[in-house]
Amino acid sequence: MKTRLARWIKKCIGTSMVLAGALCIGFCLSGQTAYAATAYKDVEPNNSHEEAQLIGRNAQTPAQYVSNQTSVYRYVTGTLSNDDEDWYMVGLYTSNPVYLDLNPGAGTIYVDVFDSSNLTVPLDTYEFRKYGDTNVYRVPISEDGTYYLRVYHTTTSISATYYFTIGNPQYTLGTYVHEFGRTSLPARDTWEDFVNLDQMPDVPKEARGYEITIGGCTTSVSSSRYFRNQHTGWVATKTTYSYKLAVTDESLLNQVWGARIVSTSTSNHTITPTMTIRYVASDIP
């Protein structure tokens, strides 16, 4: 949970926004940015579905997270005092998985999710504990439309703050290093090997690479290095022996990756080839 707690500390709270009735849920469904700011702060009264506050789904992609593009990153902050409850409405659609990620400032907070056809019985109820194991849930939706969130807690003696996103998941950055093992590289010869990262348990789910580096020897041994995966042929790295990857499904780590080192030396050397992939991963269980 350290990553989500760090985000809580780093994020500053945007100014409160009074939502005009003329704005419609269509902005959210179309994927357009409905507001200049991406931070929503709960505005009272929002204690029933009739008073539900309109918010936008988090639409940030892995590629935008890597490049620090935050214009479509949307989050909500609020405070539950005593027997308070906060209602929100948001446009969601089935073209992307929907994740609800909430961090409570204290105690346990619950979120009921309703579709607009039944505001009495929730589709499901999600529990978020201050020190709980799971603060991210996949929310199954059956069709595009307007959905309602009821945020509440059952401990009336405390005032609890919260921070949540709904829509695309949040992301974290990481680095994966694979060492191929010590080997001999004859003069003017070529070494290459492959590894199936889909079989590595420490590779995060749905991690996508954004930079790959082939290392393990000095420039005097090789100034010509390459990588490949199941979607590319051999690709030459730059003079830094690193290559910027497009953050797409083609750069998913859970596939077969290859590394190649071509000796540019006139003598034999012993090397320990490495492949380092910097990646972005969805912050989901």
Residues across the chain = 285
pLDDT at residue 249 tops 50: yes
One-letter identity of residue 227: F
Q: Shortest CA distance to 144 belongs to which of 126, 161, 167?
A: 167
**Tens digit of pLDDT for each residue in 169-225?**
999 999 999 999 999 999 999 999 999 999 999 999 899 999 999 999 999 999 999
CA distance 205 to 196: 14
pLDDT digits 0-9 by tens, 265-278 = 999 999 999 999 99
